[in-house]
Amino acid sequence: MSDHLARARAFIDILPHSRALGMRLDQFGDGQAVLSLPYDARLVGDPATGVLHGGAISALIDTASGAAVMAHASAPASTATLDLRIDYMRPATPGRTVTAHAHCYHVTRTVAFVRVTATDDDSGRPVATGVAAFTLTGQANVP
Amino acid sequence: MTRSTPEPVQVVKSRRDAALAWLVKAVPYIGFLGVQFDRRGDELTAVLPFREMLIGNPALPALHGGATAAFLEVTAIIELAWATMWEDLEAGRLDPSRIADAALPNLPKTIDFSIDYLRSGLPRDAYARARVTRSGRRYASVQVECWQDNRNRPVALGSAHFLMPEG
Protein backbone atom coordinates (compact mmCIF):
# COMPACT_ATOMS: atom_id res chain seq x y z
CA MET A 1 0.00 0.00 0.00
CA SER A 2 1.33 3.44 -0.91
CA ASP A 3 1.93 6.02 1.83
CA HIS A 4 -0.54 8.20 0.00
CA LEU A 5 -3.34 5.60 0.27
CA ALA A 6 -2.38 4.80 3.87
CA ARG A 7 -2.68 8.49 4.84
CA ALA A 8 -6.00 8.83 3.00
CA ARG A 9 -7.28 5.65 4.67
CA ALA A 10 -6.32 6.99 8.09
CA PHE A 11 -8.27 10.16 7.22
CA ILE A 12 -11.43 8.19 6.35
CA ASP A 13 -11.03 6.06 9.49
CA ILE A 14 -11.30 9.11 11.74
CA LEU A 15 -14.63 10.18 10.18
CA PRO A 16 -16.96 8.76 12.85
CA HIS A 17 -19.98 8.24 10.59
CA SER A 18 -18.00 6.48 7.86
CA ARG A 19 -16.37 4.25 10.48
CA ALA A 20 -19.75 3.42 12.07
CA LEU A 21 -21.06 2.29 8.68
CA GLY A 22 -17.95 0.13 8.14
CA MET A 23 -16.67 1.93 5.00
CA ARG A 24 -13.28 1.08 3.54
CA LEU A 25 -11.12 3.21 1.23
CA ASP A 26 -9.78 1.08 -1.64
CA GLN A 27 -8.25 3.69 -3.98
CA PHE A 28 -7.30 7.34 -3.63
CA GLY A 29 -5.50 9.71 -6.04
CA ASP A 30 -5.73 11.77 -9.26
CA GLY A 31 -9.18 13.09 -8.38
CA GLN A 32 -10.54 9.59 -7.95
CA ALA A 33 -11.63 7.63 -4.90
CA VAL A 34 -13.05 4.14 -4.49
CA LEU A 35 -14.84 3.26 -1.26
CA SER A 36 -16.63 0.07 -0.33
CA LEU A 37 -19.40 -0.70 2.13
CA PRO A 38 -19.58 -4.35 3.27
CA TYR A 39 -23.09 -5.74 3.75
CA ASP A 40 -24.39 -5.30 7.31
CA ALA A 41 -27.81 -6.41 8.61
CA ARG A 42 -28.02 -3.21 10.74
CA LEU A 43 -28.16 -1.15 7.52
CA VAL A 44 -31.15 -2.93 5.98
CA GLY A 45 -33.96 -0.70 4.72
CA ASP A 46 -36.46 -3.29 3.57
CA PRO A 47 -36.85 -6.11 6.11
CA ALA A 48 -38.85 -8.22 3.64
CA THR A 49 -35.95 -8.46 1.17
CA GLY A 50 -32.85 -7.64 3.26
CA VAL A 51 -31.88 -4.88 0.81
CA LEU A 52 -29.66 -2.07 2.20
CA HIS A 53 -31.37 1.26 2.95
CA GLY A 54 -30.91 3.99 0.34
CA GLY A 55 -29.56 6.19 3.14
CA ALA A 56 -26.55 3.89 3.64
CA ILE A 57 -25.85 4.00 -0.12
CA SER A 58 -26.21 7.81 -0.03
CA ALA A 59 -23.69 8.04 2.82
CA LEU A 60 -21.24 5.87 0.84
CA ILE A 61 -21.73 8.01 -2.29
CA ASP A 62 -21.30 11.25 -0.34
CA THR A 63 -18.11 10.02 1.36
CA ALA A 64 -16.62 8.70 -1.90
CA SER A 65 -17.42 12.02 -3.62
CA GLY A 66 -15.81 14.06 -0.84
CA ALA A 67 -12.76 11.78 -0.92
CA ALA A 68 -12.45 12.25 -4.72
CA VAL A 69 -12.40 16.03 -4.18
CA MET A 70 -9.65 15.66 -1.56
CA ALA A 71 -7.76 13.42 -4.03
CA HIS A 72 -7.75 16.16 -6.70
CA ALA A 73 -4.38 17.54 -7.81
CA SER A 74 -5.28 21.03 -6.50
CA ALA A 75 -4.88 19.53 -2.99
CA PRO A 76 -7.72 21.33 -1.15
CA ALA A 77 -7.48 21.73 2.63
CA SER A 78 -11.16 20.96 3.12
CA THR A 79 -14.43 20.45 1.31
CA ALA A 80 -18.15 20.20 2.02
CA THR A 81 -21.13 18.98 -0.04
CA LEU A 82 -23.10 21.76 -1.74
CA ASP A 83 -25.57 19.50 -3.50
CA LEU A 84 -25.93 15.85 -4.28
CA ARG A 85 -28.30 14.04 -6.60
CA ILE A 86 -28.56 10.26 -6.55
CA ASP A 87 -30.42 7.99 -8.98
CA TYR A 88 -31.20 4.48 -7.76
CA MET A 89 -31.16 2.03 -10.66
CA ARG A 90 -31.81 -1.18 -8.75
CA PRO A 91 -31.65 -2.60 -5.21
CA ALA A 92 -28.17 -3.71 -4.10
CA THR A 93 -28.01 -7.51 -3.87
CA PRO A 94 -28.42 -8.55 -0.19
CA GLY A 95 -25.21 -9.94 1.31
CA ARG A 96 -22.91 -8.22 -1.20
CA THR A 97 -20.44 -5.37 -0.71
CA VAL A 98 -21.36 -2.11 -2.47
CA THR A 99 -18.49 -0.14 -4.02
CA ALA A 100 -18.59 3.53 -5.06
CA HIS A 101 -16.21 4.92 -7.70
CA ALA A 102 -16.10 8.73 -7.53
CA HIS A 103 -14.35 11.03 -9.99
CA CYS A 104 -13.76 14.72 -9.34
CA TYR A 105 -13.64 15.68 -13.02
CA HIS A 106 -13.45 19.46 -12.77
CA VAL A 107 -12.56 22.10 -10.19
CA THR A 108 -12.69 25.89 -10.21
CA ARG A 109 -11.17 28.12 -7.52
CA THR A 110 -14.28 27.62 -5.39
CA VAL A 111 -16.25 24.59 -6.57
CA ALA A 112 -15.51 20.92 -7.33
CA PHE A 113 -17.70 18.78 -9.60
CA VAL A 114 -18.02 15.04 -9.04
CA ARG A 115 -19.61 12.03 -10.74
CA VAL A 116 -19.99 8.74 -8.91
CA THR A 117 -21.20 5.21 -9.67
CA ALA A 118 -22.06 2.55 -7.08
CA THR A 119 -22.02 -1.14 -7.99
CA ASP A 120 -22.13 -4.51 -6.23
CA ASP A 121 -20.36 -7.54 -7.74
CA ASP A 122 -22.46 -7.26 -10.91
CA SER A 123 -20.41 -4.26 -12.00
CA GLY A 124 -22.09 -4.01 -15.41
CA ARG A 125 -25.36 -2.92 -13.83
CA PRO A 126 -24.93 0.06 -11.46
CA VAL A 127 -26.89 0.13 -8.19
CA ALA A 128 -26.87 3.92 -8.15
CA THR A 129 -25.21 6.91 -9.78
CA GLY A 130 -24.68 10.38 -8.37
CA VAL A 131 -23.59 13.86 -9.34
CA ALA A 132 -22.41 16.38 -6.78
CA ALA A 133 -20.95 19.84 -6.31
CA PHE A 134 -18.60 20.51 -3.40
CA THR A 135 -17.14 23.64 -1.83
CA LEU A 136 -13.36 23.98 -1.98
CA THR A 137 -11.13 25.81 0.48
CA GLY A 138 -7.43 26.24 0.99
CA GLN A 139 -6.15 24.67 -2.22
CA ALA A 140 -2.38 24.25 -2.29
CA ASN A 141 -2.25 24.13 -6.10
CA VAL A 142 -4.81 26.50 -7.60
CA PRO A 143 -5.56 25.52 -11.24
CA MET B 1 -81.66 11.53 15.74
CA THR B 2 -79.03 9.13 16.90
CA ARG B 3 -75.33 9.71 16.70
CA SER B 4 -72.61 7.13 17.38
CA THR B 5 -70.43 7.90 20.40
CA PRO B 6 -66.93 9.06 19.39
CA GLU B 7 -64.13 6.69 20.36
CA PRO B 8 -62.28 7.65 23.57
CA VAL B 9 -59.25 9.78 22.69
CA GLN B 10 -56.80 7.35 24.29
CA VAL B 11 -58.07 4.51 22.11
CA VAL B 12 -57.55 6.59 18.98
CA LYS B 13 -54.08 7.75 20.08
CA SER B 14 -52.83 4.33 21.05
CA ARG B 15 -54.03 2.83 17.77
CA ARG B 16 -52.21 5.50 15.75
CA ASP B 17 -49.06 5.28 17.87
CA ALA B 18 -49.01 1.49 17.58
CA ALA B 19 -49.30 1.67 13.80
CA LEU B 20 -46.47 4.22 13.55
CA ALA B 21 -44.20 2.25 15.92
CA TRP B 22 -44.85 -0.90 13.91
CA LEU B 23 -43.78 0.84 10.70
CA VAL B 24 -40.66 2.47 12.20
CA LYS B 25 -39.39 -0.51 14.22
CA ALA B 26 -39.49 -2.82 11.22
CA VAL B 27 -36.64 -0.99 9.45
CA PRO B 28 -33.21 -1.83 10.95
CA TYR B 29 -31.45 1.20 9.43
CA ILE B 30 -33.82 3.63 11.22
CA GLY B 31 -32.67 2.10 14.51
CA PHE B 32 -29.02 2.26 13.42
CA LEU B 33 -29.28 6.02 12.76
CA GLY B 34 -31.42 6.47 15.89
CA VAL B 35 -34.26 8.36 14.15
CA GLN B 36 -37.46 8.81 16.19
CA PHE B 37 -40.84 10.19 15.14
CA ASP B 38 -43.09 12.66 16.98
CA ARG B 39 -46.73 12.46 15.91
CA ARG B 40 -49.39 15.17 16.17
CA GLY B 41 -52.52 13.86 14.45
CA ASP B 42 -51.26 12.74 11.07
CA GLU B 43 -48.29 15.16 11.12
CA LEU B 44 -44.88 13.58 11.70
CA THR B 45 -41.65 15.25 12.81
CA ALA B 46 -38.55 13.10 12.54
CA VAL B 47 -35.93 13.62 15.25
CA LEU B 48 -32.26 12.67 14.90
CA PRO B 49 -30.75 12.85 18.40
CA PHE B 50 -27.09 13.85 18.20
CA ARG B 51 -24.51 11.10 18.62
CA GLU B 52 -20.76 11.08 17.96
CA MET B 53 -21.19 8.49 15.19
CA LEU B 54 -23.09 11.04 13.04
CA ILE B 55 -20.03 13.29 12.70
CA GLY B 56 -18.34 13.57 9.32
CA ASN B 57 -15.86 16.35 9.94
CA PRO B 58 -14.29 16.03 13.41
CA ALA B 59 -12.33 19.29 12.95
CA LEU B 60 -15.40 21.57 12.83
CA PRO B 61 -17.20 19.38 14.08
CA ALA B 62 -20.06 18.91 11.60
CA LEU B 63 -22.63 16.21 10.83
CA HIS B 64 -21.68 13.88 7.97
CA GLY B 65 -23.39 14.89 4.72
CA GLY B 66 -24.26 11.23 4.29
CA ALA B 67 -25.96 11.12 7.70
CA THR B 68 -28.00 14.20 6.77
CA ALA B 69 -28.92 12.61 3.42
CA ALA B 70 -29.95 9.37 5.13
CA PHE B 71 -32.02 11.28 7.71
CA LEU B 72 -33.90 13.11 4.92
CA GLU B 73 -34.48 9.87 3.02
CA VAL B 74 -35.76 8.02 6.11
CA THR B 75 -38.12 10.92 6.84
CA ALA B 76 -39.44 10.99 3.26
CA ILE B 77 -40.06 7.21 3.07
CA ILE B 78 -41.80 7.02 6.46
CA GLU B 79 -43.96 10.07 5.66
CA LEU B 80 -45.03 8.46 2.39
CA ALA B 81 -45.70 5.03 3.93
CA TRP B 82 -47.50 6.67 6.88
CA ALA B 83 -49.72 8.79 4.62
CA THR B 84 -50.68 5.62 2.72
CA MET B 85 -51.29 3.69 5.94
CA TRP B 86 -53.27 6.53 7.57
CA GLU B 87 -56.30 6.13 5.28
CA ASP B 88 -56.57 2.40 6.01
CA LEU B 89 -56.05 3.03 9.70
CA GLU B 90 -58.78 5.68 9.97
CA ALA B 91 -61.21 3.68 7.85
CA GLY B 92 -60.79 0.75 10.22
CA ARG B 93 -59.22 -1.49 7.55
CA LEU B 94 -56.05 -1.83 9.59
CA ASP B 95 -56.01 -3.07 13.18
CA PRO B 96 -52.61 -2.47 14.83
CA SER B 97 -53.38 -4.92 17.65
CA ARG B 98 -53.51 -7.67 15.04
CA ILE B 99 -50.83 -6.48 12.61
CA ALA B 100 -48.06 -6.37 15.22
CA ASP B 101 -46.73 -9.76 14.14
CA ALA B 102 -47.74 -9.46 10.51
CA ALA B 103 -45.36 -8.65 7.67
CA LEU B 104 -44.89 -4.99 6.95
CA PRO B 105 -46.62 -3.67 3.84
CA ASN B 106 -44.19 -3.15 0.96
CA LEU B 107 -42.37 0.15 1.35
CA PRO B 108 -41.99 2.74 -1.42
CA LYS B 109 -38.71 2.44 -3.36
CA THR B 110 -36.51 5.47 -3.95
CA ILE B 111 -36.10 6.37 -7.64
CA ASP B 112 -33.99 9.48 -7.12
CA PHE B 113 -33.02 11.87 -4.37
CA SER B 114 -31.65 15.39 -4.63
CA ILE B 115 -30.23 17.27 -1.65
CA ASP B 116 -29.31 20.91 -1.16
CA TYR B 117 -26.87 21.40 1.70
CA LEU B 118 -27.58 24.90 2.99
CA ARG B 119 -25.64 25.00 6.26
CA SER B 120 -23.21 22.75 8.00
CA GLY B 121 -24.98 20.43 10.46
CA LEU B 122 -24.06 21.23 14.05
CA PRO B 123 -23.27 18.60 16.69
CA ARG B 124 -26.79 18.69 18.14
CA ASP B 125 -30.25 17.21 17.49
CA ALA B 126 -31.76 17.63 14.03
CA TYR B 127 -35.41 17.63 12.98
CA ALA B 128 -37.12 16.97 9.67
CA ARG B 129 -40.54 17.11 8.11
CA ALA B 130 -41.61 15.78 4.73
CA ARG B 131 -44.50 16.74 2.50
CA VAL B 132 -45.98 14.45 -0.13
CA THR B 133 -46.40 16.83 -3.06
CA ARG B 134 -47.82 14.23 -5.39
CA SER B 135 -49.03 10.74 -4.66
CA GLY B 136 -50.16 8.62 -7.56
CA ARG B 137 -50.82 4.92 -8.03
CA ARG B 138 -47.28 4.37 -9.33
CA TYR B 139 -45.14 7.40 -8.54
CA ALA B 140 -44.90 9.85 -5.68
CA SER B 141 -42.97 13.10 -5.16
CA VAL B 142 -41.85 14.15 -1.70
CA GLN B 143 -40.13 17.28 -0.40
CA VAL B 144 -38.30 17.20 2.90
CA GLU B 145 -36.65 19.79 5.08
CA CYS B 146 -34.15 19.43 7.92
CA TRP B 147 -33.36 22.03 10.57
CA GLN B 148 -31.70 22.27 13.97
CA ASP B 149 -32.06 25.22 16.33
CA ASN B 150 -34.08 27.50 14.05
CA ARG B 151 -37.00 26.26 12.01
CA ASN B 152 -36.46 29.06 9.47
CA ARG B 153 -32.75 28.29 8.98
CA PRO B 154 -32.83 24.87 7.31
CA VAL B 155 -29.68 22.72 7.25
CA ALA B 156 -30.74 20.80 4.14
CA LEU B 157 -33.60 20.49 1.67
CA GLY B 158 -34.41 17.32 -0.19
CA SER B 159 -36.62 16.42 -3.12
CA ALA B 160 -37.29 12.81 -4.05
CA HIS B 161 -39.30 10.51 -6.29
CA PHE B 162 -40.56 7.11 -5.21
CA LEU B 163 -42.02 4.05 -6.86
CA MET B 164 -45.13 3.00 -4.95
CA PRO B 165 -45.56 -0.65 -3.95
CA GLU B 166 -47.98 -2.63 -6.09
CA GLY B 167 -51.37 -3.75 -4.86
Contact A16 B54 (CB under 8 A): yes
On average, the pLDDT of chain A sits at 91
Q: Is the peptide bond before B61 cis (omega within 30 degrees of 0)?
A: yes
ipTM at complex level: 0.92
**Chain A residue with Cα closest to B52:** A16
List, in order of start, the domains of chain A with CATH numbers: 3-137 (3.10.129.10)
Stretch 146-165 of chain B: residues touching chain A, C-beta under 8 Å: none
Give the residues of chain A that fall short of pLDDT 50.
Answer: none
pLDDT band for position B90 (cuts 50, 70, 90): confident
Percent of chain B with pLDDT over 70: 93
Q: CB-based contact (8 Å) between B101 and chain A?
A: no
Contact B111 A86 (CB under 8 A): no
pLDDT of residue A54: 93
Q: Comparing C-alpha atoms, which of A92, A31, A39, A19 is closest to residue B67?
A: A19
Question: Contacts of residue B115 in chain A, CB cutoff 8 Å?
Answer: 81, 83-85
**Chain B residue with Cα closest to A61:** B66
pLDDT band for position B106 (cuts 50, 70, 90): confident
List, in order of start, the domains of chain B with CATH numbers: 9-163 (3.10.129.10)
Strands (E), A55-140: 78-88, 98-107, 111-119, 128-137
Listed in sequence order, the residues at least 6 apart from A36 whose beta carbon sits closer than 8 Å to its beta carbon are: A23, A24, A26, A97, A98, A99, A100
pLDDT of residue A48: 86
